[in-house]
Structure 1
Amino acid sequence: MDIGGLLTTAASLMVTGMVGVFVFLSILISAVILMSKVVGRFDDPATAEPTRTAKIQPQQGVPQAHIAAISAAIAQFRNKQK
């Protein structure tokens, strides 16, 4: 085979592959859109949004009991090192 024949065969194979991928992705996108619309019909609007039962108050700083426990542990560690 000459180089022209090989290039023609390679180009046709490339175009065939690209068309195949394009068709597959088009079908996939269409299927996802169709499934989204079908599921949207059966979706219950009452369960669409979760309800909040209580608001969590953010804590300001570290509790004093934790600070006291950490300070006591540090003091105990330092006393053992002497």
Structure 2
Amino acid sequence: MDIGALLTTAGNLMLTGMIGVFVFLSLLIGFVTLMSKLVSHFSQPELVTPTRTPSLKAQGVPSEHIAAISAAIAQYKTNNI
């Protein structure tokens, strides 16, 4: 075989491979899009309840401790500022 025939064969093989990959990826994108639409159409939306962060009172910190900490912070601020 001469170089021209080899280049022609290589070009045909490359073009065939590129077209095959393009068709495969196009079909894959189409099927994924179709499945996404089908799943979103047939699935029921779940109700999400917001979670609440518990306050310090709900965690059981006594109000005397909170008052003592607040007094200590206030005393620190008056002495050091």
What is the TM-score when the length of structure 1 is the normalising length?
A: 0.61
From 48, 51, 54, give the equivalent of 2:49. 51
- The equivalences for 1:2-81 within 5 A come to 2-45=2-45, 47=46, 50-55=48-53
- Cα distance in 2 for residues equivalent to 1:17 and 1:35: 27
Q: Which amino acid letter does the alignment assign opposite residue 50 of structure 1?
A: V
Give the letter for the 2:31 counterpart.
Answer: A
Give the structure with higher Rg (CA).
2
Structure 1 residue 56, shift from structure 2 partner: 6.1
Kindly provide the amino acid, as one letter, of the partner of residue 22 in structure 1. F
What SS does the aligned partner of 1:5 have? helix
Question: What percentage of residue pairs aligned between the two structures are identical?
Answer: 60
Distance, in Å, in 2 between the alignment partners of 1:28 and 1:15 is 20
Supply the RMSD in Å over aligned alpha carbons: 1.6
- Count of equivalent residues: 55
TM-score (norm 2): 0.61
- The runs of at least 4 consecutive aligned structure 1 residues that moved more than 4 Å come to none
